[in-house]
Amino acid sequence: MGLEDVQRRFDRKLAKEGVHILRDANQWKVREDVFDEVTLLALYRFVQKKLITVVGGPISTGKEANVFYAEAGDRALALKIYMMRTANFKAMMDYIDGDPRFSGIRRSRKEIIFVWTRKEYANLSRARDAGVPVPEPIAFDRNILIMEFLGKDGQAFPPLKYAEGVDYAATYAAIVNFMKLLYSKANLVHADLSEFNILYGDRPYLIDFGQAVTRDHPGMVQFLERDVHNVTRFFSQHCDVLEERMLLMEIIQEKPTQVDAITE
């Protein structure tokens, strides 16, 4: 059975469940790239469990994942769907190997993506438990992660890179504190921290945790140095910042402190 048949069947099933799919020309294009059989099946299972009642349009179409707007009842959600076809399996393995939580897994290409999705879910949970503002992880299945939608009136908060009216000094202080909390409380290093993976709304949020690793990962120091470098590079264009070495020391050595109101 071709993919189009599967999609048609899927649409009929969804219609029977009363799920309403919003479509536009742009979304059709995305659907072809993203919604392979594995994805449709995982999506369908979420629908059956009523974890999703509305599937909306794409919020972001990246190289390895696409993020869609969705709803469950009146709750706004973001669906992050990792693409089976374009995933960079080798790069993914660098962040899976060495993390004791995910060692000893089967390593077919499919399995790597499924582990990656589970890893992002686990990382978001840990970060959240440590008090770092991240989207609340709600569920995962195969290559799909469901999380809280960060935005207002269906409009996602912009990445810090494109945000307007930013209080940079306060945001820098908040991000430094988030890095400390991640390191000392969640035992995690984000490993892809930059102005693109910070959403700026009513407060700053960290997103995109698939590659985040525990502190015992052998590449941890290098990942942390890179995060420190990216954060320093960006904020130094807008406000006073610590020297990279100082920031690194502060994250590694000191207990996190509540810097100010926006970090609460």
Ligand X SMILES: Nc1ncnc2c1ncn2[C@@H]1O[C@H](COP(=O)(O)OP(=O)(O)O)[C@@H](O)[C@H]1O
Provide CB contacts within 8 A for 119, sequence distance 6+.
Answer: 95, 96, 99, 101, 102, 209, 210, 212
Among 57, 151, 201, 219, binds ligand X (CB under 6 A): 151
With CB under 5 to 8 Å by kind, the binding choice for 156 among ligand X, Mg ion, none is ligand X
Q: Which residues pair with 139 in a beta bridge?
A: 146
Q: Using CB under 6 A, which of the segments 40-48, 61-69, 220-228, 233-241 binds ligand X?
A: 61-69
- Residue 142 to residue 50: CA distance in whole angstroms: 17
Give yes or no: 167 in active site.
no
A 10 A CB-CB count for 154 gives 12
Give yes or no: 260 in active site.
no
Nearer to Mg ion, 72 or 79 (CB): 79
Among 99, 141, 208, 227, the one annotated catalytic? 208
Contact code string over 67-106 relative to ligand X, x by CB under 6 A: x----------x-x--------------------------
Q: Which two tokens stand for residue 132?
A: 């770092």
Quote the least distance from Cβ 13 to ligand X, whole Å. 26
Query: Counting contacts by CB under 6 A, is residue 52 touching ligand X?
Result: no
With CB under 5 to 8 Å by kind, the binding choice for 135 among Mg ion, ligand X, none is ligand X
- Residue 50 to residue 101: CA distance in whole angstroms: 29
Q: Which DSSP string corresponds to 59-87?
A: EEE-SSEEEEEEEETTEEEEEEEE-TTT-
- Residue 138 to residue 124: CA distance in whole angstroms: 10
Query: Counting contacts by CB under 6 A, is residue 159 touching ligand X?
Result: yes
Quote the least distance from Cβ 140 to ligand X, whole Å. 13
Quote the least distance from Cβ 25 to Mg ion, whole Å. 25
- Residue 199 to residue 206: CA distance in whole angstroms: 6
> Would you tell me which residues interact with ligand X (CB under 6 A)?
59-60, 62, 64-65, 67, 78, 80, 135, 147-151, 156, 159, 197, 207-208
Catalytic residues: 192, 208
